[in-house]
A and B are shown apart, each in its own frame.
Chain A
Amino acid sequence: MSIGNILSKSSDWLRGDGPHHHIVVTSRIRLARNLAGVAFPGRAKAAERVDVLEKIRPKVESLPEMVDAVSLACQDLSPVDKLLLVERHLISREHAAKKAGAAVVMNRRQNLSIMINEEDHLRMQSIRSGLQLRAAFKAINKVDSELEQQLDYAFDSNLGYLTACPTNVGTGMRASAMVHVPGLVLSEQINQIVQAVNKIGLAVRGLYGEGTEALGNLFQVSNQTTLGEKEEEIIDRLHKVILEIINHELNARQVLLHNKPNTLLDHVGRSYGTLRHAYSMNSKEALNHLSFAKLACDLGFYGDAQRHAIDELFIETQPAHLQKGSQQRLATDERDVLRAEIIRSKMASFAPPDLESVLVREKEARGGAKKEPPHGSGAGEEPSGTDFF
């Protein structure tokens, strides 16, 4: 299978059918492994990296999980294709820049990708829609167990799996969930959450943008420590924290609806207007408006088909995806025009969200005295994106 074949299909996780997918976009597990007796890729000479590639690649390609896979050497890929894979979370930005010996093998559904000669000899990733950390681990753990029978891993009985960076030594595992939390951002609770989560050994970073700036209200939560704990313990801790974040986010939205409905509706309404009527939009602006379109879906204004369209736009409006769909090389301003055009056409059938009805309902709720306090629901219940309304 060629790269064109695989990239013409959208990624499996984009179907957005996992548990809690309204707030948790994806769950990912990455395992880092190295071969014993060979320098790590950053230290190895080009010839050594090529040796490692020749040793690992056939084993990876013959995995039962990879029957319909595409296997690509980084130096055979065009810059646009590489960036495209980065935008789909299939390879890292660092890996895209690598040359001799660097390759990636991924399955057709794009929920399993294995980078060879990234920072470590093997970086294996499994990605799922929604909150499915355990399922993602199960999948990648199986692949790892199959590979360990054929490859001699660098493993120390005290330190576990040895990795190029000491921050990964031990399990070599990074578990992460991408969450969409406009409620926490609007109600300015996000910094508190970030600090609380940091304290228990988890990291939170904005998905797009530098440092703590988070575009599209998207954050990635992941474990920071890899040594001294079992894989399952790390995953359970992260899973629990994500459930907490879901509850906080749902609460924040509800409180906003009760206390500052106009603030919330203003964001949703303006984003709708901009997405439907703009003729030039940069990537940052698109992400932020798409975030509120996604929120509009959660608020019940749109159905599954529209939600899917919005989710796809998050990926399709990234620079390489725009470039790939175009015949000639696009300058930045041309990309902004194309981005706006794609969004307009995809959202052409979106009726304006009935924001007024929300205000009416809120007014009624407040008028009907002794209603439940705004904090009431959410806690203890199974959180979901629609029933809090």
Chain B
Amino acid sequence: MLCDVCKAQTASVFLTQIVDGKIQKVNLCDPCSKEKGVTDPTGFALADMLFGMGAAQQIGANIGSEGVRCPQCGFTQAEFKKTGRLGCSVCYVTFAEPLKELLKGMHKGLRHIGKCPERLRLTQERDSALRQFHDDLRAAVVEEKYEEAAALRDKIRALELSGGVKGD
């Protein structure tokens, strides 16, 4: 039997998983199994990586050690395993490490690039603008450009008062 990934070498690792209630078999050769992280207990989403199938039922099936508790809601990994659901938003921090592996197999990326609540976006823009002004101010002082420094100080004060970024 040939390896499902490279389709060249003889398969030596055979996996069976239940995906969406259906049994799926994946056969891998030794090098491919290592490359796909089959020996890694968190590499659970193998069939997903290979076939792009959903894995809702498998959530948490291979999450590491027990015993960690979410400080906010008291959720444990055992409960996560059982329900496939998290208890609260802090759980995403509490279980960040095992979740990372899980999310990697589940989604297209690990970083959200879509919509962001307007208020948060404004705050973020303001924070990064403030950081920039402070950097510029420090540089201006070092270079003894006092007029420029004064202008920057005004900008910073205005921004801190307004609570948002003024359009250029």
Where the two chains meet, the residues of A that have a C-beta atom closer than 8 Å to any C-beta of B are 34, 36-40, 42-43, 119, 141, 144-145, 148-149, 153-162, 164-167, 169-171, 173, 198-201, 203, 211-212, 224-231
Contacts and interface: CB of A to CB of B under 8 A. Distances in A.
Chain A CB within 10 Å — which of B20, B59, B85, B118 has the most?
Answer: B85
Given A149-B119, A162-B92, A231 B114 contact: yes
A155 B107 contact: no
A228 B92 contact: no
B36 to A, nearest CB: 17
A145 B116 CA distance: 10
B64 interface: no
Going nearest first, the 9 A-B pairs with the smallest beta carbon separation are: A228-B109, A160-B112, A227-B107, A43-B87, A228-B108, A154-B89, A162-B89, A39-B88, A171-B114
Interface of B: 20-22, 51-56, 59, 72-73, 75, 83-89, 92, 99, 102-103, 106-120, 124
Contacts of B120: 155, 157
A228 B112 contact: yes
Contacts of A156: 89, 92, 112
A39 B103 CA distance: 21
A160 B114 contact: yes
Nearest to B106: A167
A227 B114 CA distance: 8
A170 B86 contact: no
Contacts of A40: 85-89
A309 B133 CA distance: 66
A37 B102 CA distance: 24
A226 B113 CA distance: 10
Given A149-B118, A211-B20, A228-B108, A166 B86 contact: yes
Nearest to B112: A160
A224 B83 CA distance: 19
A36 B119 CA distance: 14
Given A158-B112, A228-B109, A228-B111, A148 B72 contact: no
A49 B108 CA distance: 32
Contacts, number: 130
Contacts of B73: 39, 43
A87 to B, nearest CB: 23
A227 B117 contact: no
A40 to B, nearest CB: 6
Contacts of B87: 39-40, 42-43
Nearest to A41: B85
A1 B103 CA distance: 43
Given A43-B73, A225-B108, A229-B108, A164 B86 contact: yes
A155 B86 contact: no
13 contacts: A40-B89, A119-B85, A157-B112, A159-B112, A160-B112, A160-B115, A166-B99, A166-B103, A167-B56, A199-B51, A200-B52, A228-B110, A228-B113
A229 B112 CA distance: 7
A119 B56 CA distance: 14
B73 to A, nearest CB: 5
Nearest to A227: B107
A148 B112 contact: no
A162 B89 CA distance: 6
Nearest to A212: B22
B108 A201 contact: yes
B88 A171 contact: no
Nearest to B102: A166
A144 B115 CA distance: 10
A306 to B, nearest CB: 37
Given A154-B89, A198-B53, A227-B109, A170 B117 contact: no
